[in-house]
Structure 1
Amino acid sequence: MSAPFVPVTRRWADLSGPALVAATSERSIAVVPIGAIEHHGPHLPLRTDALVAEAVASAAVERVAASGIDAWLLPTIEYAKSDEHYWAPGTLWVEGTTLLDQLVEIGRSIAMTPVRTVAFVNGHGGNVMLLGWANRELRRRFGLRSFSMPAGAGAAGDGLDGRPDELGQGIHAGFGETSVVMHLAPHLVAPEMPPRNVPEKIAGMTHIGFNRKPVMFGWTSDDFGPTGVIGDPTGANAEVGRMIFESGVDFVAEALVEIDGFEFG
């Protein structure tokens, strides 16, 4: 029997099953972008988080593959835990337990191939804690090396060089996220920006808040106003978005290099 045809691609789903088995090994890394379909104010597309995660993961996989790391891009998970935007028409979300089951089942499927490493590239904050849970499930159940990371480091406006000062609270549809979509898909961004909506009282607190403050709290995005924006998209621009995007690709590519060499102990 002749060897299976392996097309020149880094996209898992573009291969046949036999070609995937022939092309991968226990050194291969399955890279899974995960985002969300959720309300992003009146100016950004519902698939913003999925768009960014897929674009960053795709560029990072191509970069590290060119340097000899055997990374493969899996299809993007788009329906995720977005119940903070449950109130907004257009949001498509699943329960956390449903998403966890899906992540475990994807891991189980990966474990049926030679691949023994999976890395989730996440574009949606609501998935973070659940991905931590999934990492351990995939390790314990299937012996996979499992990792998760953001699709970049984020970039709240800091008030410098004409950027709005989001007081560290620009977490959703604000300056940074709007700028990235302007770079990746300008045709999907509305020409008129919604007004600034920064929760300044929370920004002044020492312990309670977003962005790694130690005291978390339950919230839905309409707690902060009717637009669903948490931040200040005014002044967003594609050039800043390009820099944020490239920083995200650098970060994910560097992380994949470390994952390639990772060992326990």
Structure 2
Amino acid sequence: MSAPATRELAELTGPQAAATLTANSIVVLPVGSIEHHGDYLPLATDLIMADEMSRRVVEGAAADGLDVWRLPPLAYTKSDEHAWAPGTFWIEGEELLATFRSIGRSLAATPARTIVLYNGHGGNVAPMGIALRDLRRRFGLRTFAMNVAVPAGDGDPDGAGGPDEHGLGIHGGWGETSLLMHLRPELVHEEHFTRAIPPGLVEREQIGFAGAPVQFGWLSDDFGFGGVLGDPTGADAAAGSRIASDLVSSGVAALREISTFDPAGGVA
């Protein structure tokens, strides 16, 4: 049986998968969402980012000599913060966790022992964290999670850093919009770009989003900006291309480290 040319696991036949996957194989599962992104980005923004960037990362890692494969992406995930907005399609956190369990169970039936969740949506982070330990305990898999970590605007537009988003550019902000302008420019509506930075959050030192000392429960329409958070003004495809290149470099480096990681402290 000839070696497959693809790195898309679902494009293999069953016998090819059984013969090709080994205990050293890394399987990457892109995790996106279908959710409201204002009036300038598509509902599939997070899915597009997770799907396309995981493909580039896997191809880069394979070219670097790693035994890495990619599954088709999950589209319907935990997006209930946008449930108020027509066009958002979401499932409960428990359903997403159950889906991860089922995929882990299926992977455990192959020779592969490592799964990487490559995530494009912040609302998936909590269920993914539970899934990492659950799949480790239930099936003995090596489990990891990565995110499409787009930067927030840092107030240095001359240095291609975009407008100052005060760390709040988490949904439809400069980085995400720039990346979409690079990946799928025909889906971005620049005429609707509007700054959406809640002043009440800028003034807070303790309360904020991921990384802040104090987290809080929120819905995307709590802030009065049509369900987006960030400042897309100044976003452009050139910045998106640089962001994509950085994501590939960091993603390949992450997969290289994953390939030799042993939680007991040794080398796998």
> Which amino acid is the alignment partner of residue 247 of structure 2?
G
1:65 pairs with one of 62, 65, 71: 62
User: Can you list the C-alpha shifts for 1:111-162, whole angstroms capped at 9, x where unaligned?
Assistant: 000000000111000011111100000000000000001123x211111125
2:23 pairs with one of 22, 26, 38: 26
> Which amino acid is the alignment partner of residue 255 of structure 1?
A
User: Can you list the C-alpha shifts for 1:211-264, whole angstroms capped at 9, x where unaligned?
Assistant: 301211110000012521101111110001111111111111111001000012
2:83 pairs with one of 70, 82, 86: 86
SS in 1 for 2:200: helix
Total equivalences in the alignment: 261
Match of 1:157 in 2: 153
| 8 A contact 2:28–2:118 mirrored in 1 | yes
| 8 A contact 2:196–2:225 mirrored in 1 | no
1:128 pairs with one of 117, 125, 130: 125
| 8 A contact 1:197–1:231 mirrored in 2 | yes
> Which amino acid is the alignment partner of residue 170 of structure 1?
G
**Does residue 138 of structure 1 match 2:103?**
no
| 8 A contact 1:193–1:233 mirrored in 2 | no
TM-score normalised over the length of structure 1: 0.96
SS in 2 for 1:224: coil
Structure 1 residue 13: deviation in Å? 0.5
Moved more, 173-182 or 157-166: 157-166
Could you tell me how far apart the structure 2 residues matched to 1:90 and 1:170 are? 22
For the aligned residue pairs, the C-alpha RMSD in angstroms reads: 1.1
Could you tell me how far apart the structure 1 residues matched to 2:39 and 2:246 are? 26
Q: Unpaired runs of 5+ in structure 2?
A: none
> Which amino acid is the alignment partner of residue 190 of structure 1?
H
Structure 1 residue 204: deviation in Å? 2.2
Could you tell me how far apart the structure 2 residues matched to 1:6 and 1:261 are? 23
Structure 1 residue 193: deviation in Å? 2.6
- Residues 226 and 198 of structure 1: CA distance in aligned 2, closer, same or farther (over 3 Å): closer
**Does residue 240 of structure 1 match 2:236?**
no
Could you tell me how far apart the structure 2 residues matched to 1:81 and 1:10 are? 27
> Which amino acid is the alignment partner of residue 213 of structure 2?
P
> Which amino acid is the alignment partner of residue 105 of structure 2?
R
Match of 2:207 in 1: 208
Structure 1 residue 6: deviation in Å? 4.8
Structure 1 residue 7: deviation in Å? 3.2
Q: Which runs of 4+ in 1 moved over 3 A?
A: none
SS in 2 for 1:192: helix
Structure 1 residue 93: deviation in Å? 0.3
**Does residue 106 of structure 1 match 2:76?**
no
Q: Unpaired runs of 5+ in structure 1?
A: none
Identity %: 51
| 8 A contact 1:151–1:249 mirrored in 2 | no
| 8 A contact 1:33–1:122 mirrored in 2 | yes
